[in-house]
Amino acid sequence: MSDGSSPPDGDLVAPTPKIPVPEEVRQAVRTLIRWAGDDPEREGLLDTPDRVARAWREYALGYEQDPSHHLSRTFDEVGGYDEIVLLKDIPFQSHCEHHMAPIIGKASIAYLPQDRVVGISKLARVLHGFARRLQVQERLTAQVADCIWTHLEPQGVAVVIEASHACMSARGVNTPGVMMTTSRMMGVFKRDERSRREVLALMGY
């Protein structure tokens, strides 16, 4: 039985407990509210510093986890299966490290097993473990692929991420609706063009 203090099985989407908020964090949010031109003492903003602080603890849960932990339990008996394993269109949220603005997108993660596989949900957990940090999409893509490559030792890994960036859509050039695509191919998916075409077709590209 869980006491509610931590997510079950490393789940990154469980509710954040009501942790104490340090006064310095509370004051930092108040300062930002004043800088934006509002009054942190008005009724609607009185509880905002605590809400923002706790929200950011949830946004940044990935710093408290080692995503590779999710790949530690593997299965050798796969009935002779030796084809691509793909988890497609996994939704995720992150925040860019330059403006701390939301990154919202989806990822497709595939690997070609060598002699063992991992529970399919663990691929999503690896993604969320790295996404719940301050990120750039290029690094996020590489971290997910490298983690699977290192800890599963497959014949190949392919990761493709599509995401929209609020730092571009809601400020700066103010260009909504634009998606950024990044990819990382490793092993057979990098070396062999036919294998690369196959996995991209399965992903829908």
Question: pTM here?
Answer: 0.88
With H, G, I as helix, E, B as strand and everything else as coil, classify residue 65. coil
d(CA 152, CA 98): 32
d(CA 68, CA 147): 6
Does residue 95 have an active-site annotation? no
Of the listed 27, 64, 98, 138, which one is catalytic? 98
| CA 189 to chain centroid | 22
Q: What is the pLDDT of residue 1?
A: 40
pLDDT tens for each residue of 141-154: 999 999 999 999 99
Strand order in the sheet with 134-135: 134-135, 85-96, 102-112, 156-165, 180-187
pLDDT tens for each residue of 159-200: 999 999 999 988 888 888 899 999 999 999 999 999 999 999
Pairing outcome for strands 74-75 and 117-118: antiparallel
Q: Which amino acid is at 166?
A: A
pLDDT tens for each residue of 3-58: 444 455 555 555 556 889 999 999 999 999 999 999 999 999 999 999 999 999 99
Average pLDDT, the chain: 92
Does residue 97 have an active-site annotation? yes
- Between helices 23-36 and 48-59, what is the axis angle to 10°? 110
| Inter-CA distances, 187 with 45, 62, 82, 110, Å | 52, 27, 15, 12
Does residue 96 have an active-site annotation? yes
Of the listed 70, 95, 128, 165, which one is catalytic? 165
86 - beta bridge partners? 110
Does residue 167 have an active-site annotation? yes
Of the listed 95, 96, 155, 198, which one is catalytic? 96
Of the listed 65, 137, 143, 155, which one is catalytic? 137
Of the listed 97, 151, 153, 162, which one is catalytic? 97
Residues 6+ apart with CB under 8 A from 64: none
Strand segments, DSSP code E, in 42-176 are 74-75, 85-96, 102-112, 117-118, 134-135, 156-165
d(CA 190, CA 119): 24
Of the listed 58, 69, 93, 99, which one is catalytic? 99
d(CA 131, CA 139): 10
Q: How many residues does the chain have?
A: 205
Residue reference for tokens 């294998």: 195
Residue reference for tokens 């097993």: 113
Does residue 27 have an active-site annotation? no
